[in-house]
Chain A
Amino acid sequence: MRIKSVAMLAVAALAVPAIAHHSFAMFDMKKDVTAEGVVTDFRWTNPHAWMHVDMADKSGTRANWALEMTSPNNLVLSGWRRSSLKPGDKVTVTYHPLLNGKTGGSLVKVVLPDSKILENK
């Protein structure tokens, strides 16, 4: 746990072995996309926590997106709990999109209904 920021830098460079589960080469790590959506699922699981969000892409097409986070082991240090998200929550998410254009990404941060911000680190 606990050193996501170091790990992210490392995987972005793809030069240091600070990767536990997989590299982040599949994401556009230089691009941040922000969108509003409604949570449909929150998986507090290893090796990654996941949130599923109904939201529109840039063309306005709505879809269910999968946003990957680091592990619960890391997230608890950033204030996350297994109860942080629940289906129906209206949230604003920022994520690094998949390079292949599919409806998924690596979460950067989420703004909760009470305006609290949780970061994926």
Chain B
Amino acid sequence: MMRPGFLPLGVMLAAFAALPVAAEQAAPVAAQSEAAGKIWPSAAEQVSYAALQSLPDWRGIWLPMPGAPKPEIPRLIGKYKTLYDEIQALIKSGDPEAQLKVERRASACEPPGMPGVMTQPYDIEFLFTPGRVTMIQEAYMQVRRIFTDGRPLPEDPDPTYNGFSVGHWEGSTLVVTTVGLREGGIMGRWGISHSDKVKITERIHLDPANKDVLVVENTFEDPLALAAPWHSTYLFSRERAQDQLEFICAQNDRNPISDKGEVGFIDAAH
């Protein structure tokens, strides 16, 4: 029996998903003690799927497509600018030996992390469940969990590849805030890296002129790496006739990256 004055959790969930939130509302941050052990609506025992019906149709897979506006040159500072200048010099040299040193990953199977997970030359797909949006990137089968159940951002998250994301719907636009990313991740082109204090805000929506185009508008803020917010846009085109395929990078990775950052090639003799 429901106590008078309390709404069933399912009804509250439905209200959450459908409720328009004021534009540019900053995602709240929770103290660790407050967030620890709490059951948030996306995993609560009581659930309603009804609110999903009012969300936009993002089904199908989304292929990266050209045509997005070219981003401005980021106003990098400190060691982040130093690295960018170094990488750009390697690229502009045209020297094949130098260009082999552009990559800085430990393994060619190491995923890029956010936001590189959005710019792989493979498709993405979205799953909506109550209080949560899940994005799957085909390359390496990377997963982003975007909690839309009202939870705050963690105050002191462990840095991870894809970070911690919360989101809310402003009409048919999903606004996502991501923190908790690893120091040195790549923000866009080679050499544009961020600190572990970066905050990424994405506004994700269908193109009003073409519902088969998905637009992701990014704002990067980083007190250690950027003198001013930096913006970029990604575009995707919908494909409804295909599904994502499995992608296990460890199956046959024959391109080791040396400790000098050079990409290798294991030939047939090995």
**A18 and B112 alpha carbons, distance in the complex (Å):** 11
Interface residues on A, range: 35 or more
A20's partner among B122, B246, B251, B266 (CB-CB below 8 A) is: B122
Contact residues of B: prevailing secondary structure:
loop
Residues from 78 to 99 in A contacting B, C-beta threshold 8 Å:
98-99
B267 and A17 contacting across the interface, CB-CB below 8 Å: no
Distance in Å: Cβ of B137 to nearest Cβ of chain A = 9
Contact residues of A: prevailing secondary structure:
loop
Q: Which chain A residues lie closer than 8 Å to B91 at the CB level? A: 14-15
B14 in contact (CB, < 8 A): no
A15's partner among B116, B190, B239, B247 (CB-CB below 8 A) is: B190
B265 and A47 contacting across the interface, CB-CB below 8 Å: no
**Chain A residue with the shortest CB-CB distance to B95:** A25
Residues from 1 to 31 in A contacting B, C-beta threshold 8 Å:
1-4, 6-7, 10, 14-23, 25-26
Q: Which chain B residues lie closer than 8 Å to A65 at the CB level? A: 267-268
B186 in contact (CB, < 8 A): yes
Inter-chain contact count A-B, CB under 8 Å?
A: 124
**A19 and B119 alpha carbons, distance in the complex (Å):** 8
B251 and A99 contacting across the interface, CB-CB below 8 Å: no
**Chain B residue with the shortest CB-CB distance to A53:** B268
B252's partner among A7, A19, A20, A45 (CB-CB below 8 A) is: A45
Q: Which chain A residues lie closer than 8 Å to B63 at the CB level? A: 2-3
B121's partner among A10, A26, A68, A104 (CB-CB below 8 A) is: A10
Interface residues on B, range: 35 or more
Q: Which chain A residues lie closer than 8 Å to B253 at the CB level? A: 21, 47
Q: Which chain A residues lie closer than 8 Å to B189 at the CB level? A: 15-17
Mark each residue of chain B from 247 to 270: 1 if its CB lies under 8 Å from any CB of chain A, else 0: 111011111010000011111110
A21 and B96 contacting across the interface, CB-CB below 8 Å: no
B245 in contact (CB, < 8 A): yes
Distance in Å: Cβ of A91 to nearest Cβ of chain B = 15
B247 and A71 contacting across the interface, CB-CB below 8 Å: yes
A52's partner among B121, B239, B268 (CB-CB below 8 A) is: B268
A22 and B188 contacting across the interface, CB-CB below 8 Å: no
CB-CB under 8 A for A73 and B268, given A17-B188, A18-B121, A22-B103: no
B78 in contact (CB, < 8 A): no
Interface set of A (CB-CB < 8 Å, partner B): 1-4, 6-7, 10, 14-23, 25-26, 40-41, 43, 45-48, 50, 52, 64-66, 68, 71-73, 76, 98-99, 102-104
Given contacts A10-B121, A102-B265, 5 further A-B contacts (CB under 8 A): A1-B245, A2-B239, A15-B190, A17-B190, A23-B99
